[in-house]
Chain A
Amino acid sequence: MNREALKISLPGLELKNPVMPASGCFSFGEEFSKLYDLSELGAIMVKAATHEPRIGNRTPRVAETSSGMLNAIGLQNPGVDHILDHELKFLEQYDVPIIANVAGSEIDDYTIVADKISKAPNVKAIELNISCPNVKEGGIQFGTDPETARRLTSRVKEVSDVPVYVKLSPNVTSIVDMALSVGDIADGLTMINTLVGMRLDGNGQPILSNVTGGLSGPAIKPVSLNMIYQVRQHLPHIPIIGMGGIATADDILDYISVGADAVAIGTMNFTDPMICPALIEALDEKLGEMGVGHLHDLKGRAYK
Protein backbone atom coordinates (compact mmCIF):
# COMPACT_ATOMS: atom_id res chain seq x y z
CA MET A 1 0.00 0.00 0.00
CA ASN A 2 1.36 3.39 -0.98
CA ARG A 3 0.70 5.44 2.08
CA GLU A 4 3.17 8.08 0.84
CA ALA A 5 0.23 9.40 -1.15
CA LEU A 6 -1.52 10.31 2.09
CA LYS A 7 1.29 11.96 4.08
CA ILE A 8 0.59 15.61 4.85
CA SER A 9 2.87 18.18 6.45
CA LEU A 10 1.21 21.09 8.28
CA PRO A 11 2.49 23.53 10.92
CA GLY A 12 3.31 21.40 13.96
CA LEU A 13 1.78 18.33 12.37
CA GLU A 14 3.45 15.55 10.44
CA LEU A 15 0.40 13.52 9.44
CA LYS A 16 0.62 9.89 8.26
CA ASN A 17 -2.66 10.57 6.51
CA PRO A 18 -5.15 13.45 6.36
CA VAL A 19 -7.85 11.75 8.46
CA MET A 20 -8.46 12.70 12.06
CA PRO A 21 -11.48 12.50 14.35
CA ALA A 22 -13.03 15.91 15.05
CA SER A 23 -13.20 17.36 18.52
CA GLY A 24 -16.23 16.34 20.54
CA CYS A 25 -16.82 13.20 18.50
CA PHE A 26 -14.02 11.08 19.90
CA SER A 27 -13.83 12.04 23.58
CA PHE A 28 -10.16 11.50 24.49
CA GLY A 29 -9.74 8.32 22.48
CA GLU A 30 -9.81 5.69 25.20
CA GLU A 31 -13.11 4.15 24.08
CA PHE A 32 -11.95 3.97 20.45
CA SER A 33 -8.60 2.47 21.50
CA LYS A 34 -10.51 -0.72 22.30
CA LEU A 35 -11.67 -0.89 18.67
CA TYR A 36 -8.53 -0.07 16.67
CA ASP A 37 -4.95 1.15 16.97
CA LEU A 38 -5.12 4.92 17.40
CA SER A 39 -1.65 5.21 15.82
CA GLU A 40 -3.36 4.57 12.46
CA LEU A 41 -4.94 8.03 12.60
CA GLY A 42 -3.45 11.14 11.05
CA ALA A 43 -4.05 13.02 14.28
CA ILE A 44 -6.63 13.21 17.05
CA MET A 45 -8.59 16.37 17.82
CA VAL A 46 -9.49 15.71 21.42
CA LYS A 47 -12.57 16.96 23.23
CA ALA A 48 -12.55 20.59 24.35
CA ALA A 49 -10.63 21.49 27.49
CA THR A 50 -11.66 24.36 29.72
CA HIS A 51 -9.84 25.84 32.72
CA GLU A 52 -12.32 24.51 35.29
CA PRO A 53 -14.31 21.27 34.98
CA ARG A 54 -17.69 21.76 33.30
CA ILE A 55 -20.82 19.64 33.74
CA GLY A 56 -22.46 20.87 30.54
CA ASN A 57 -26.14 21.30 29.73
CA ARG A 58 -29.16 19.36 30.94
CA THR A 59 -30.50 16.47 28.88
CA PRO A 60 -31.79 15.87 26.24
CA ARG A 61 -28.51 16.89 24.66
CA VAL A 62 -28.90 15.32 21.21
CA ALA A 63 -31.58 15.01 18.56
CA GLU A 64 -31.44 13.47 15.13
CA THR A 65 -32.33 15.54 12.07
CA SER A 66 -32.42 14.62 8.38
CA SER A 67 -28.90 13.37 7.62
CA GLY A 68 -27.63 15.16 10.68
CA MET A 69 -27.82 15.65 14.37
CA LEU A 70 -28.16 18.49 16.83
CA ASN A 71 -26.07 18.52 19.95
CA ALA A 72 -26.01 20.76 22.97
CA ILE A 73 -23.53 18.96 25.21
CA GLY A 74 -22.19 22.23 26.59
CA LEU A 75 -18.48 21.39 26.68
CA GLN A 76 -18.68 18.88 29.53
CA ASN A 77 -15.09 18.06 30.45
CA PRO A 78 -13.02 17.39 33.57
CA GLY A 79 -10.88 20.55 33.24
CA VAL A 80 -7.43 21.07 31.76
CA ASP A 81 -5.43 19.76 34.73
CA HIS A 82 -7.25 16.44 34.77
CA ILE A 83 -6.97 16.16 30.99
CA LEU A 84 -3.21 16.71 31.18
CA ASP A 85 -2.70 14.19 33.97
CA HIS A 86 -5.02 11.47 32.68
CA GLU A 87 -6.47 11.74 29.20
CA LEU A 88 -3.42 13.13 27.39
CA LYS A 89 -1.15 10.88 29.45
CA PHE A 90 -3.12 7.87 28.24
CA LEU A 91 -2.69 8.96 24.62
CA GLU A 92 1.11 9.14 24.97
CA GLN A 93 1.33 5.40 24.27
CA TYR A 94 0.18 6.02 20.68
CA ASP A 95 2.26 7.40 17.83
CA VAL A 96 -0.25 10.07 16.90
CA PRO A 97 -0.13 13.87 17.14
CA ILE A 98 -2.77 15.44 19.35
CA ILE A 99 -4.59 18.64 18.49
CA ALA A 100 -5.89 20.07 21.76
CA ASN A 101 -9.20 21.89 21.53
CA VAL A 102 -9.09 24.91 23.85
CA ALA A 103 -12.34 26.54 25.01
CA GLY A 104 -13.32 29.21 27.50
CA SER A 105 -15.62 32.03 28.43
CA GLU A 106 -13.06 34.82 28.81
CA ILE A 107 -9.68 35.53 27.25
CA ASP A 108 -7.91 34.55 30.47
CA ASP A 109 -9.60 31.13 30.43
CA TYR A 110 -8.27 30.49 26.96
CA THR A 111 -4.73 31.63 27.71
CA ILE A 112 -4.49 29.60 30.91
CA VAL A 113 -5.63 26.43 29.11
CA ALA A 114 -3.50 27.07 26.02
CA ASP A 115 -0.40 27.78 28.10
CA LYS A 116 -0.78 24.55 30.06
CA ILE A 117 -1.98 22.18 27.37
CA SER A 118 0.52 23.27 24.71
CA LYS A 119 3.31 21.95 26.95
CA ALA A 120 2.03 18.37 26.92
CA PRO A 121 4.57 16.26 25.02
CA ASN A 122 2.06 14.80 22.56
CA VAL A 123 0.11 18.01 21.88
CA LYS A 124 1.42 19.24 18.54
CA ALA A 125 -1.16 21.95 17.85
CA ILE A 126 -4.01 23.82 19.45
CA GLU A 127 -7.46 24.16 17.98
CA LEU A 128 -8.89 27.40 19.31
CA ASN A 129 -12.56 26.81 19.94
CA ILE A 130 -14.12 30.23 19.40
CA SER A 131 -17.22 28.78 17.90
CA CYS A 132 -19.10 26.47 20.25
CA PRO A 133 -22.73 27.54 19.96
CA ASN A 134 -23.86 25.69 23.07
CA VAL A 135 -22.28 27.66 25.87
CA LYS A 136 -24.41 30.51 27.12
CA GLU A 137 -21.84 32.44 29.12
CA GLY A 138 -19.44 33.21 26.31
CA GLY A 139 -17.36 31.48 23.71
CA ILE A 140 -19.51 32.19 20.70
CA GLN A 141 -18.92 35.96 20.69
CA PHE A 142 -15.24 35.28 20.07
CA GLY A 143 -16.21 33.45 16.92
CA THR A 144 -18.67 35.96 15.52
CA ASP A 145 -16.85 39.27 16.01
CA PRO A 146 -13.72 39.63 13.84
CA GLU A 147 -11.95 42.04 16.19
CA THR A 148 -12.55 39.92 19.28
CA ALA A 149 -11.43 36.81 17.44
CA ARG A 150 -8.26 38.55 16.35
CA ARG A 151 -7.46 39.75 19.86
CA LEU A 152 -8.05 36.32 21.37
CA THR A 153 -5.99 34.52 18.72
CA SER A 154 -3.14 36.94 19.27
CA ARG A 155 -3.16 36.40 23.04
CA VAL A 156 -3.29 32.62 22.71
CA LYS A 157 -0.43 32.67 20.18
CA GLU A 158 1.69 34.51 22.76
CA VAL A 159 1.34 31.76 25.37
CA SER A 160 1.20 28.66 23.20
CA ASP A 161 4.26 26.50 22.63
CA VAL A 162 2.67 24.91 19.55
CA PRO A 163 0.95 26.21 16.38
CA VAL A 164 -2.56 27.56 16.81
CA TYR A 165 -5.41 26.63 14.47
CA VAL A 166 -8.58 28.69 14.82
CA LYS A 167 -11.89 26.83 14.49
CA LEU A 168 -14.27 29.06 12.57
CA SER A 169 -17.97 29.28 13.24
CA PRO A 170 -20.35 29.14 10.29
CA ASN A 171 -22.85 31.21 12.26
CA VAL A 172 -21.60 34.51 10.85
CA THR A 173 -22.57 36.91 8.10
CA SER A 174 -19.20 36.65 6.37
CA ILE A 175 -16.93 33.68 6.90
CA VAL A 176 -14.31 35.44 4.78
CA ASP A 177 -14.23 38.43 7.15
CA MET A 178 -13.73 36.07 10.09
CA ALA A 179 -10.97 34.15 8.32
CA LEU A 180 -9.21 37.33 7.26
CA SER A 181 -9.37 38.72 10.82
CA VAL A 182 -7.25 35.87 12.18
CA GLY A 183 -5.54 34.76 8.97
CA ASP A 184 -2.24 36.57 9.50
CA ILE A 185 -1.92 35.50 13.15
CA ALA A 186 -3.16 31.92 13.22
CA ASP A 187 -1.04 29.03 11.95
CA GLY A 188 -4.10 27.46 10.37
CA LEU A 189 -7.88 27.22 10.32
CA THR A 190 -10.25 24.40 11.07
CA MET A 191 -13.66 24.77 9.55
CA ILE A 192 -16.43 24.54 10.18
CA ASN A 193 -17.99 24.16 13.60
CA THR A 194 -21.69 23.31 13.89
CA LEU A 195 -24.56 25.44 12.63
CA VAL A 196 -27.13 26.63 15.15
CA GLY A 197 -30.41 24.79 14.74
CA MET A 198 -33.41 23.42 16.57
CA ARG A 199 -35.88 20.55 16.37
CA LEU A 200 -39.37 20.26 17.80
CA ASP A 201 -41.20 17.19 19.07
CA GLY A 202 -44.73 16.16 18.08
CA ASN A 203 -46.20 18.59 20.60
CA GLY A 204 -44.39 21.59 19.17
CA GLN A 205 -41.82 21.69 21.94
CA PRO A 206 -38.04 21.93 21.46
CA ILE A 207 -36.42 18.52 22.02
CA LEU A 208 -33.12 19.86 23.35
CA SER A 209 -33.19 21.22 26.87
CA ASN A 210 -30.96 24.01 25.58
CA VAL A 211 -33.65 24.69 22.91
CA THR A 212 -30.98 25.16 20.23
CA GLY A 213 -28.02 22.96 19.36
CA GLY A 214 -25.23 22.60 16.88
CA LEU A 215 -26.16 20.91 13.62
CA SER A 216 -23.57 18.47 12.27
CA GLY A 217 -23.44 15.48 9.95
CA PRO A 218 -23.82 15.03 6.18
CA ALA A 219 -26.55 17.70 6.10
CA ILE A 220 -23.95 20.45 6.60
CA LYS A 221 -21.36 19.28 4.08
CA PRO A 222 -22.49 21.65 1.28
CA VAL A 223 -22.30 24.61 3.67
CA SER A 224 -18.83 23.68 4.83
CA LEU A 225 -17.54 23.09 1.30
CA ASN A 226 -18.77 26.49 0.20
CA MET A 227 -17.21 28.26 3.18
CA ILE A 228 -13.83 26.63 2.61
CA TYR A 229 -14.12 27.40 -1.10
CA GLN A 230 -14.68 31.08 -0.27
CA VAL A 231 -11.97 31.35 2.35
CA ARG A 232 -9.40 29.56 0.21
CA GLN A 233 -9.78 32.19 -2.51
CA HIS A 234 -8.85 34.96 -0.08
CA LEU A 235 -6.21 33.03 1.85
CA PRO A 236 -4.50 30.80 -0.71
CA HIS A 237 -1.76 29.55 1.57
CA ILE A 238 -3.21 29.16 5.06
CA PRO A 239 -3.51 25.53 6.19
CA ILE A 240 -7.16 24.47 6.46
CA ILE A 241 -8.45 21.33 8.12
CA GLY A 242 -11.94 20.79 6.70
CA MET A 243 -14.85 19.09 8.41
CA GLY A 244 -18.60 18.72 8.18
CA GLY A 245 -20.49 15.57 7.28
CA ILE A 246 -17.65 13.48 5.90
CA ALA A 247 -18.88 9.90 5.45
CA THR A 248 -16.96 8.55 2.43
CA ALA A 249 -13.61 8.80 0.67
CA ASP A 250 -15.35 10.86 -2.05
CA ASP A 251 -16.40 13.35 0.62
CA ILE A 252 -12.74 13.71 1.61
CA LEU A 253 -11.79 14.36 -2.01
CA ASP A 254 -14.48 17.06 -2.17
CA TYR A 255 -12.89 18.84 0.78
CA ILE A 256 -9.43 18.58 -0.75
CA SER A 257 -10.85 19.81 -4.03
CA VAL A 258 -12.10 23.07 -2.50
CA GLY A 259 -8.73 23.64 -0.91
CA ALA A 260 -8.61 21.85 2.44
CA ASP A 261 -5.25 20.32 3.40
CA ALA A 262 -6.60 17.63 5.70
CA VAL A 263 -9.97 16.59 7.08
CA ALA A 264 -11.69 15.69 10.31
CA ILE A 265 -14.47 13.17 10.78
CA GLY A 266 -17.19 14.12 13.24
CA THR A 267 -20.71 12.78 13.62
CA MET A 268 -20.09 9.69 11.51
CA ASN A 269 -17.88 8.32 14.31
CA PHE A 270 -21.14 7.75 16.18
CA THR A 271 -22.85 6.11 13.22
CA ASP A 272 -19.87 3.87 12.54
CA PRO A 273 -17.12 3.76 15.18
CA MET A 274 -14.73 2.18 12.64
CA ILE A 275 -15.15 4.95 10.08
CA CYS A 276 -11.76 6.64 10.51
CA PRO A 277 -9.57 3.60 9.71
CA ALA A 278 -12.08 2.56 7.02
CA LEU A 279 -11.79 5.96 5.31
CA ILE A 280 -7.97 5.95 5.45
CA GLU A 281 -8.04 2.60 3.66
CA ALA A 282 -10.71 3.69 1.19
CA LEU A 283 -8.93 6.95 0.40
CA ASP A 284 -5.67 5.16 -0.30
CA GLU A 285 -7.45 2.74 -2.62
CA LYS A 286 -9.30 5.56 -4.35
CA LEU A 287 -6.11 7.47 -5.11
CA GLY A 288 -4.58 4.26 -6.44
CA GLU A 289 -7.58 3.73 -8.74
CA MET A 290 -7.38 7.33 -9.92
CA GLY A 291 -3.64 7.07 -10.53
CA VAL A 292 -3.01 10.09 -8.31
CA GLY A 293 0.51 10.24 -6.85
CA HIS A 294 -0.36 12.35 -3.82
CA LEU A 295 -3.64 13.51 -2.30
CA HIS A 296 -2.58 17.14 -2.64
CA ASP A 297 -2.30 16.76 -6.39
CA LEU A 298 -6.09 17.16 -6.19
CA LYS A 299 -5.99 20.14 -3.83
CA GLY A 300 -7.94 23.12 -5.10
CA ARG A 301 -9.03 21.41 -8.31
CA ALA A 302 -12.52 22.88 -7.84
CA TYR A 303 -11.10 26.21 -9.07
CA LYS A 304 -9.66 24.88 -12.27
Chain B
Amino acid sequence: MKNIMTVVAQNRIADKIHEMVLEGEITGSMKTPGQFVHVRINDTTEHVLRRPISIADIDQENSRFTIVYRAEGEGTKKLSKLGPGDTLDILSPLGRGYPLEQNAHVLIVGGGIGVPPLYELSKQLNIMGVRTTHVLGFNSKKDVFYEDKFGALGDTHIATADGSHGMEGYVTDVIRTLDADFDCFYACGPKMMLKVLSETMDLEGYISLEERMGCGFGVCYACVCETAEGDWIKLCTEGPVFRKGEIIL
Protein backbone atom coordinates (compact mmCIF):
# COMPACT_ATOMS: atom_id res chain seq x y z
CA MET B 1 0.00 0.00 0.00
CA LYS B 2 2.82 2.46 0.86
CA ASN B 3 5.08 3.16 -2.08
CA ILE B 4 7.71 5.54 -3.31
CA MET B 5 6.89 6.67 -6.84
CA THR B 6 9.04 8.68 -9.22
CA VAL B 7 7.76 11.83 -10.87
CA VAL B 8 8.05 11.50 -14.66
CA ALA B 9 6.42 14.77 -15.67
CA GLN B 10 4.51 17.67 -14.20
CA ASN B 11 2.59 20.36 -16.10
CA ARG B 12 0.17 23.13 -15.30
CA ILE B 13 -2.86 22.43 -17.51
CA ALA B 14 -5.26 25.15 -16.31
CA ASP B 15 -5.42 27.88 -13.68
CA LYS B 16 -3.94 26.29 -10.52
CA ILE B 17 -4.56 22.83 -12.04
CA HIS B 18 -1.53 20.55 -12.31
CA GLU B 19 -1.08 17.20 -14.00
CA MET B 20 1.60 14.89 -12.59
CA VAL B 21 2.73 11.61 -14.14
CA LEU B 22 4.23 9.09 -11.71
CA GLU B 23 6.03 5.83 -12.33
CA GLY B 24 6.31 2.81 -10.09
CA GLU B 25 5.51 -0.80 -9.51
CA ILE B 26 2.26 -0.16 -7.61
CA THR B 27 0.63 0.99 -10.86
CA GLY B 28 0.07 -2.72 -11.54
CA SER B 29 -2.50 -2.89 -8.75
CA MET B 30 -4.51 0.08 -10.05
CA LYS B 31 -7.47 -1.45 -11.83
CA THR B 32 -10.69 0.38 -11.04
CA PRO B 33 -11.37 3.93 -12.20
CA GLY B 34 -12.47 6.23 -9.38
CA GLN B 35 -9.93 4.96 -6.86
CA PHE B 36 -7.52 7.43 -5.30
CA VAL B 37 -4.01 7.80 -3.96
CA HIS B 38 -3.07 9.42 -0.65
CA VAL B 39 -0.01 11.58 -1.17
CA ARG B 40 2.50 12.61 1.48
CA ILE B 41 3.65 16.17 0.87
CA ASN B 42 7.26 15.73 2.04
CA ASP B 43 9.25 13.72 4.55
CA THR B 44 9.20 16.34 7.29
CA THR B 45 6.49 16.64 9.92
CA GLU B 46 5.38 20.05 8.66
CA HIS B 47 2.44 18.47 6.82
CA VAL B 48 1.11 15.55 8.82
CA LEU B 49 -1.92 14.78 6.68
CA ARG B 50 -1.64 13.22 3.27
CA ARG B 51 -3.69 14.60 0.38
CA PRO B 52 -6.28 12.36 -1.29
CA ILE B 53 -6.03 12.75 -5.08
CA SER B 54 -7.98 10.77 -7.66
CA ILE B 55 -6.28 8.70 -10.34
CA ALA B 56 -6.88 10.34 -13.72
CA ASP B 57 -5.12 7.97 -16.09
CA ILE B 58 -3.49 4.54 -15.76
CA ASP B 59 -0.80 3.41 -18.19
CA GLN B 60 -0.12 -0.21 -17.24
CA GLU B 61 2.29 -0.78 -20.11
CA ASN B 62 4.74 1.79 -18.77
CA SER B 63 3.87 1.36 -15.05
CA ARG B 64 2.74 4.98 -14.97
CA PHE B 65 -0.33 6.80 -13.76
CA THR B 66 -1.49 10.41 -13.77
CA ILE B 67 -2.98 12.59 -11.07
CA VAL B 68 -4.58 15.97 -11.65
CA TYR B 69 -4.95 18.29 -8.66
CA ARG B 70 -5.56 21.90 -7.75
CA ALA B 71 -2.57 23.65 -6.17
CA GLU B 72 -4.63 25.73 -3.76
CA GLY B 73 -3.28 25.15 -0.25
CA GLU B 74 0.24 25.11 1.11
CA GLY B 75 0.65 21.36 0.67
CA THR B 76 -0.53 21.04 -2.91
CA LYS B 77 1.49 24.14 -3.86
CA LYS B 78 4.57 22.24 -2.67
CA LEU B 79 3.54 19.23 -4.75
CA SER B 80 3.32 21.47 -7.80
CA LYS B 81 7.01 22.33 -7.44
CA LEU B 82 8.17 18.72 -7.97
CA GLY B 83 9.73 17.78 -11.26
CA PRO B 84 11.06 14.75 -13.16
CA GLY B 85 13.21 12.51 -10.97
CA ASP B 86 11.69 13.66 -7.68
CA THR B 87 9.99 11.00 -5.61
CA LEU B 88 6.65 10.91 -3.86
CA ASP B 89 5.44 8.72 -0.99
CA ILE B 90 1.93 7.50 -1.75
CA LEU B 91 -0.62 5.07 -0.35
CA SER B 92 -2.39 3.36 -3.22
CA PRO B 93 -4.73 2.27 -4.64
CA LEU B 94 -7.39 3.26 -2.12
CA GLY B 95 -11.17 3.20 -2.06
CA ARG B 96 -13.85 1.63 -4.19
CA GLY B 97 -14.13 2.97 -7.70
CA TYR B 98 -16.83 3.03 -10.40
CA PRO B 99 -18.44 -0.27 -11.39
CA LEU B 100 -17.90 -0.94 -15.10
CA GLU B 101 -21.16 -2.09 -16.62
CA GLN B 102 -21.78 -3.23 -20.17
CA ASN B 103 -24.22 -0.52 -21.24
CA ALA B 104 -24.82 0.86 -24.73
CA HIS B 105 -24.50 4.56 -23.99
CA VAL B 106 -23.64 6.33 -20.73
CA LEU B 107 -23.50 9.95 -19.61
CA ILE B 108 -20.37 11.10 -17.78
CA VAL B 109 -20.69 14.34 -15.81
CA GLY B 110 -17.79 16.14 -14.17
CA GLY B 111 -17.43 19.39 -12.28
CA GLY B 112 -14.13 21.22 -11.75
CA ILE B 113 -11.53 19.14 -9.95
CA GLY B 114 -14.03 16.25 -10.03
CA VAL B 115 -13.30 15.76 -13.73
CA PRO B 116 -9.97 13.82 -13.55
CA PRO B 117 -11.13 10.33 -12.40
CA LEU B 118 -13.78 10.35 -15.10
CA TYR B 119 -11.10 10.26 -17.79
CA GLU B 120 -9.81 6.83 -16.79
CA LEU B 121 -13.43 5.73 -16.37
CA SER B 122 -14.36 6.84 -19.89
CA LYS B 123 -11.21 5.23 -21.29
CA GLN B 124 -12.06 1.87 -19.76
CA LEU B 125 -15.72 2.07 -20.79
CA ASN B 126 -14.67 2.84 -24.37
CA ILE B 127 -12.40 -0.22 -24.36
CA MET B 128 -15.46 -2.25 -23.33
CA GLY B 129 -17.37 -0.82 -26.30
CA VAL B 130 -19.59 1.48 -24.25
CA ARG B 131 -20.44 4.77 -25.95
CA THR B 132 -19.71 7.74 -23.70
CA THR B 133 -21.02 11.29 -23.78
CA HIS B 134 -19.27 13.78 -21.51
CA VAL B 135 -20.56 16.95 -19.90
CA LEU B 136 -17.90 18.88 -18.02
CA GLY B 137 -18.56 22.00 -15.98
CA PHE B 138 -16.08 24.69 -14.92
CA ASN B 139 -16.29 28.21 -13.52
CA SER B 140 -14.52 29.90 -16.39
CA LYS B 141 -12.45 29.30 -19.54
CA LYS B 142 -9.19 29.51 -17.56
CA ASP B 143 -10.30 26.50 -15.48
CA VAL B 144 -11.06 24.16 -18.39
CA PHE B 145 -8.83 21.12 -18.91
CA TYR B 146 -8.95 17.73 -20.67
CA GLU B 147 -11.54 18.91 -23.24
CA ASP B 148 -9.58 17.36 -26.11
CA LYS B 149 -8.76 14.18 -24.23
CA PHE B 150 -12.44 13.55 -23.46
CA GLY B 151 -13.32 14.63 -26.99
CA ALA B 152 -11.19 11.76 -28.35
CA LEU B 153 -13.35 9.30 -26.40
CA GLY B 154 -16.85 10.59 -27.23
CA ASP B 155 -19.13 13.61 -27.56
CA THR B 156 -17.90 16.24 -25.12
CA HIS B 157 -19.80 19.32 -23.96
CA ILE B 158 -18.40 22.08 -21.80
CA ALA B 159 -20.36 24.40 -19.51
CA THR B 160 -18.86 27.42 -17.81
CA ALA B 161 -20.63 29.43 -15.14
CA ASP B 162 -19.56 32.72 -16.71
CA GLY B 163 -20.14 31.61 -20.31
CA SER B 164 -16.52 32.26 -21.34
CA HIS B 165 -16.24 28.80 -22.94
CA GLY B 166 -18.84 26.29 -24.09
CA MET B 167 -22.40 26.81 -22.90
CA GLU B 168 -23.11 29.40 -20.21
CA GLY B 169 -24.50 27.79 -17.11
CA TYR B 170 -24.18 24.51 -15.28
CA VAL B 171 -23.83 20.91 -16.39
CA THR B 172 -27.55 20.39 -15.86
CA ASP B 173 -28.26 23.15 -18.41
CA VAL B 174 -26.23 21.22 -20.99
CA ILE B 175 -27.80 17.86 -20.10
CA ARG B 176 -31.28 19.34 -20.76
CA THR B 177 -30.26 20.03 -24.36
CA LEU B 178 -29.01 16.51 -25.07
CA ASP B 179 -31.26 14.30 -27.10
CA ALA B 180 -30.00 10.83 -26.34
CA ASP B 181 -31.00 7.68 -24.53
CA PHE B 182 -28.57 7.03 -21.73
CA ASP B 183 -28.53 3.80 -19.75
CA CYS B 184 -26.71 5.20 -16.77
CA PHE B 185 -24.75 8.23 -15.55
CA TYR B 186 -21.44 8.54 -13.76
CA ALA B 187 -20.53 11.75 -11.96
CA CYS B 188 -17.87 13.42 -9.86
CA GLY B 189 -17.82 17.01 -8.69
CA PRO B 190 -19.18 19.42 -6.10
CA LYS B 191 -21.71 17.97 -3.68
CA MET B 192 -24.44 20.32 -4.91
CA MET B 193 -23.93 19.13 -8.50
CA LEU B 194 -24.15 15.50 -7.38
CA LYS B 195 -27.28 16.24 -5.37
CA VAL B 196 -29.05 17.95 -8.28
CA LEU B 197 -28.05 15.15 -10.65
CA SER B 198 -29.20 12.47 -8.23
CA GLU B 199 -32.55 14.17 -7.74
CA THR B 200 -33.27 15.09 -11.34
CA MET B 201 -31.78 12.32 -13.48
CA ASP B 202 -34.27 9.53 -14.05
CA LEU B 203 -31.43 7.08 -14.56
CA GLU B 204 -29.33 4.73 -12.54
CA GLY B 205 -26.16 6.53 -11.56
CA TYR B 206 -22.88 6.45 -9.69
CA ILE B 207 -21.40 9.43 -7.90
CA SER B 208 -18.00 10.06 -6.37
CA LEU B 209 -17.75 12.17 -3.22
CA GLU B 210 -14.98 14.22 -1.69
CA GLU B 211 -14.31 14.75 2.02
CA ARG B 212 -11.43 15.82 4.23
CA MET B 213 -9.50 12.70 5.19
CA GLY B 214 -7.12 11.74 7.95
CA CYS B 215 -5.66 8.34 7.18
CA GLY B 216 -7.31 7.35 3.87
CA PHE B 217 -7.65 3.68 4.78
CA GLY B 218 -10.43 3.42 7.33
CA VAL B 219 -8.71 4.07 10.62
CA CYS B 220 -9.46 7.62 11.71
CA TYR B 221 -13.21 7.94 10.99
CA ALA B 222 -12.76 11.48 9.64
CA CYS B 223 -14.40 11.11 6.23
CA VAL B 224 -17.73 9.58 7.13
CA CYS B 225 -20.99 10.04 5.27
CA GLU B 226 -24.57 9.09 6.08
CA THR B 227 -26.33 6.32 4.18
CA ALA B 228 -30.01 6.37 3.30
CA GLU B 229 -30.48 3.79 6.08
CA GLY B 230 -28.98 6.18 8.65
CA ASP B 231 -25.62 4.45 9.06
CA TRP B 232 -22.42 6.49 9.10
CA ILE B 233 -19.84 4.84 6.86
CA LYS B 234 -16.30 5.70 5.89
CA LEU B 235 -15.92 7.35 2.52
CA CYS B 236 -12.30 6.26 2.10
CA THR B 237 -13.05 2.54 2.27
CA GLU B 238 -16.78 2.23 1.44
CA GLY B 239 -16.48 4.93 -1.25
CA PRO B 240 -15.60 7.38 -2.68
CA VAL B 241 -17.98 6.02 -5.35
CA PHE B 242 -21.57 5.28 -4.32
CA ARG B 243 -24.71 4.30 -6.16
CA LYS B 244 -27.17 7.18 -6.56
CA GLY B 245 -29.43 7.38 -3.52
CA GLU B 246 -27.14 5.27 -1.35
CA ILE B 247 -25.75 8.32 0.44
CA ILE B 248 -27.53 11.38 1.81
CA LEU B 249 -26.08 14.42 0.06
Contacts and interface: CB of A to CB of B under 8 A. Distances in A.
Interface of A: 24-27, 31-32, 34-35, 47, 55-56, 59-64, 66-69, 71, 73, 76, 207, 217-218, 245, 247, 267-274
Interface string B210-222: 0111111111111
Given A207-B212, A271-B50, 6 more contacts: A24-B220, A31-B215, A32-B219, A60-B211, A63-B212, A64-B47
A62 B215 CA distance: 10
Nearest to A251: B45
A59 B221 contact: no
A69 B48 contact: yes
Contacts of B89: 272
B167 interface: no
26 contacts: A27-B219, A31-B219, A35-B2, A56-B221, A59-B222, A59-B223, A59-B224, A60-B211, A61-B214, A61-B224, A62-B49, A62-B214, A63-B212, A64-B47, A64-B75, A67-B46, A69-B214, A73-B220, A73-B221, A76-B224, A217-B45, A269-B219, A270-B48, A270-B220, A272-B89, A273-B215
Contacts of A217: 45, 48
Given A27-B219, A76-B224, A274-B2, A59 B49 contact: no
Contacts of B211: 59-60
B45 A27 contact: no
A245 B217 CA distance: 21
Given A59-B222, A271-B50, A218 B214 contact: no
Nearest to B72: A202
A274 B223 CA distance: 21
A160 B47 CA distance: 40
Contact of B48 (A61, A67, A207): A67
A62 B45 contact: no
Nearest to A30: B218
User: Considering the complex of A and B, which 8 residue pairs feature the smallest CB-CB distances, nearest first?
Assistant: A62-B222, A218-B45, A270-B215, A27-B219, A64-B49, A60-B212, A61-B222, A217-B48
Contacts of A64: 47-49, 75
Contacts, number: 98
B104 interface: no
Contacts of A274: 2
A293 B143 CA distance: 61
A56 B224 contact: yes
Contacts of B225: 59
A223 to B, nearest CB: 15
Contacts of B224: 56, 59, 61, 76
B14 interface: no
Interface string B113-130: 000000000000000000
B218 A61 contact: no
Contacts of A66: 46
A47 B234 CA distance: 15
B45 A268 contact: yes
Nearest to A72: B222
Contacts of B91: 273
A87 to B, nearest CB: 12
Contacts of A218: 45, 48
A67 B140 CA distance: 35
B232 A55 contact: yes
B244 interface: no
A24 B215 CA distance: 11
B209 to A, nearest CB: 10
Nearest to A26: B219
Contact of A61 (B45, B46, B75, B221): B221
A169 to B, nearest CB: 20
A245 B45 CA distance: 9
A61 B217 CA distance: 15
B40 interface: yes
Contacts of A69: 48-49, 214
Contacts of A32: 219
Nearest to B218: A31
A63 B223 CA distance: 11
B47 A27 contact: no
Contacts of B196: none
Contact of A71 (B1, B45, B218, B220): B220
B74 to A, nearest CB: 9
A66 B48 CA distance: 8
A59 B46 CA distance: 24
Contacts of B48: 64, 67-69, 217-218, 267-268, 270-271
Interface in B89-103: 89, 91
B219 A61 contact: no
